[in-house]
Structure 1
Amino acid sequence: MKPLRKIIFPAAGMGTRFLPATKASPKEMLTIVDKPLIQYGVEEALAAGMDEIIMVTGRGKRAIEDHFDISAELEANLKAAGKSDLYQEVSRVARMAEVVYLRQKESLGLGHAVLCASHWVSDEPFGVSLADELIIHETGAMQQLREVHEQTGCSVIGLIQVAESDVSKYGIVAFEAEENGLLRLTDMVEKPDVDEAPSHLAMIGRYIFTPRLMDLLQEVKPGKGGEFQLTDAIAMLAKEEPVYGVLLEGQRFDAGNPGGFLLANAVLGLQHPEYGESLRRALKKQL
C-alpha cells in the first residue's frame, strides 16, 4: 500500500448562500474567529500527515492561492515593524504546505470536482475534505479516518449521527457492524426521504479513498442538474471492496450556511484563549 499523502479540497462553489459577502471574496476565505475557513481544513490535513494539497477551484478563487503563497513585502514589513508574532504566523501559513491548484471549469457536482484531480492522484490513496464542515477535536477528523485506513488498507468515510428530520439533507449510509467494532458500509443514498433512509448515519465531508474510486467516478452517470455525485461512486466502490465508516468525534459546525457559520464564530470565539473572556463580558452587556 502506497503512503497516504495527497488530499483534495473541492473549492469551486460560488457560495451563493453568503451573498453579498462572497460577491468578490471566496466563501472558503471567510474567517472563523481569526483565520479563514479553508485554513482549518488544511491544518487538519497536515496534522494527519497529508502534505500534498490539491485545491480544485473555479473563477474568483485567486484569494485562496494568495493566502497560501509567500508575500515577501508583507513579511518584510511585519519584521521591520517588530511584529514578530504576526510575522511568524504569516510566514507559517505561507510555508505550511505545497499546494497544487486545478480548475473545475463547469459546476458538475462533487464527484466531478474530485475527478478533476485524477491525474495528480494517479495510483495512490487520497483524502477528500469539504472545508465547509468544520470539525474541532484534539485528534483531527482526517487523523481519525487515517487510523482506520492504516489498520485496514481500505477506504474510510467520516460519519455523524443526525436527527430523523435531517436525513434528507445528507448522504445516508447503510452498514454492517463487524466483530472488530468497525462499520462496513454496504450502500449510500443521497438525500433520501425519511421513510427511505437506511439509517441515521450521514457522511460529513471527510473521506479517504483507494485509487479505485477515480476509475469508478468515470463510470458514474449524471443525475439531477447534470451533476456527477460522489455518493454514487462510493456506493459502487462498496460493492467491490470494503469501505468503512467512522463516527467522528469533536465539535461539528456546518459552516457552509450562515447559521452554522455564525454559530462556529460564537462558540469558538468564546473558547479562544485570547479573545474568549472579553467576548463573554461584551456579550453579557449586550444581551
Structure 2
Amino acid sequence: MKAIIPAAGLGTRFLPATRCMPKELLPVLDKPILQYVVEEALEPEGVDGVVIVNSREKPQIEQYFSVDEDFENMLRERGKGEAADRVHEASTLPVSFVYQDNPRGLGHAVHCAADKIDGEPFFVLLGDYFVPDKQMCVRMAQVSREHDGASVIAVAPVPEDQVSRYGIIAGQCVGHLDGAKDGEEEEGAVWKVTGLVEKPKPEDAPSHLFIVGRYLLSPRIMELLATQAPGAGNEIQLTDSMQRLLAEEEMYALVVDPAEGCDTGTPAAWAATNARMALKSPQTAEAFHEAFGDKALG
C-alpha cells in the first residue's frame, strides 16, 4: 500500500525564498516540512512506501532523500556522528518519485502516480500540513477497516461564515470511532458521505465539515481520474472524481481537530508552526521562552 504526496507546486506564496529552495524543504526547526509528512504517511499499518509527485524543476527534493556518502563521511571525520546519522535518516525512508510535467490540478498530480499503486487503496497527504503525532491517517485506516475497506477522508468543523472557502461534505453522522455517540461534528464522529460541495454559500452548505487534506482512497479513483474532465480553474479536480466515486462506492469521513496538525501553507502559518514546535521541544523551548517570555504563549 502506498501514500502519495503531491509536491510539484511552485510555492509562489513563499517567494523569493522558493526561487532556489522548494517550499517542501523549508525547515520546521531542524527538519524539512516534507520529511514530517513522509514520516506521517508511513505510520499506518500496511503502508510500505511513499510516492512523491515532483516537478523536474525541483531536483533538490530527490537529492534530500538520497544518500550523500561524502557529506556524511566528512561529518563523521569531524566528530559529528550524531549529525551524520540525522542526515542519513532521510535516505533510509522508502520514497520514490514520479513527475508532474504540467501543473493541471490536484487530481492530475495524484493520477501521475497511478502506475505506483498496484491496484491497492492508497493515501494522499497534502504537503503543506503535517500531524506531529502521526495518528490521523492511522485512525482513518481504522474507519476504513470498520466499513469494509471504504474510502475515508479527514474533515473538520469550520465556522459558518467560512464554509464558502472550502470543499464541504454532505452526509450524515453514523457513529463515533470509539463507539460513543457524541456530537455529530465533534472529533471522532464518523459520517457517511453522500456528496461533496465546493465552496458553497453558507445558507446552502450541507454541513460545516471541510476536507482537511488527508485521504484514503479506493484504487477505482485512479480510473476515474483518467477520464476526468477539467473542473474549477480548468484543472483536474480530485473532488470531482470523488463525487463520481460516490455513485459506485461508499465513502466515509472522520471528524478531526484541525489543530491536531500544523499548517505550513503560508509564511505566517509556517512561522507559527515553527513557534509551536519550538515550544514543544525540550531543546528549544527554554531558549524560546528566554527570547519572548510570556509573549511566546500569547
| TM band (smaller chain) | over 0.9
1:194 equivalent to 2:202? Answer yes
Q: Is the CA contact 1:144–1:248 (under 8 Å) kept in the aligned structure 2? A: no
Cα deviation digits, residues 174-214 of structure 1 (max 9, x gap): 12122566311110112222222221111011111111111
Scaled by the length of structure 1, the TM-score of the pair is 0.92
1:26 equivalent to 2:22? Answer yes
1:241 equivalent to 2:249? Answer yes
Give 1:107's aligned residue: 103
**Residue of structure 2 aligned with 1:220, choices 228, 244, 252:** 228
Q: Is the CA contact 1:26–1:60 (under 8 Å) kept in the aligned structure 2? A: no
RMSD after superposition: 1.8
**Residue of structure 2 aligned with 1:16, choices 8, 12, 18:** 12
**Residue of structure 2 aligned with 1:56, choices 53, 56, 81:** 53
User: Deviation of residue 286 (structure 1)?
Assistant: 8.6
**Residue of structure 2 aligned with 1:85, choices 82, 87, 103:** 82
Cα deviation digits, residues 229-264 of structure 1 (max 9, x gap): 101111111221111111224523321112211110
- State the AA in 1 paired with 2:235: E
Cα deviation digits, residues 38-57 of structure 1 (max 9, x gap): 01110101222423111111
Rounded Cα–Cα distance in structure 2 between residues aligned with 1:27 and 1:197: 33
Q: Is the CA contact 2:231–2:240 (under 8 Å) kept in the aligned structure 1? A: no
Cα deviation digits, residues 100-156 of structure 1 (max 9, x gap): 21111111100010111111113111110001022233x522112111122221111
Q: Is the CA contact 2:190–2:255 (under 8 Å) kept in the aligned structure 1? A: no
Moved over 3 A (4+): none
Superposed, 1:1-287 pairs within 5 Å as 5-49=1-45, 50-97=47-94, 99-137=95-133, 139-152=134-147, 153-179=149-175, 182-249=190-257, 251-284=260-293
- State the AA in 1 paired with 2:137: M
Rounded Cα–Cα distance in structure 2 between residues aligned with 1:172 and 1:15: 25
Rounded Cα–Cα distance in structure 1 between residues aligned with 2:90 and 2:48: 13
Rounded Cα–Cα distance in structure 1 between residues aligned with 2:71 and 2:3: 29
Q: Is the CA contact 1:145–1:157 (under 8 Å) kept in the aligned structure 2? A: yes
Rounded Cα–Cα distance in structure 1 between residues aligned with 2:198 and 2:118: 27
Aligned positions, number = 281
User: Deviation of residue 280 (structure 1)?
Assistant: 1.1
Give the secondary-structure state (helix, strand or coil) at the position aligned to 2:168: strand
Percent of paired sites with the same residue: 38
- State the AA in 2 paired with 1:222: P
Give the secondary-structure state (helix, strand or coil) at the position aligned to 1:168: helix
Bigger shift: 217-226 or 33-42? 217-226
Going from structure 1 to structure 2, the CA distance change for 1:201 and 1:286 (only over 3 Å counts) comes to closer
Rounded Cα–Cα distance in structure 1 between residues aligned with 2:262 and 2:204: 26
- State the AA in 1 paired with 2:116: W
Runs of at least 5 residues in structure 1 that lack an aligned partner in the other structure = none
Rounded Cα–Cα distance in structure 2 between residues aligned with 1:10 and 1:142: 16
User: Deviation of residue 270 (structure 1)?
Assistant: 1.3
Rounded Cα–Cα distance in structure 1 between residues aligned with 2:90 and 2:239: 32
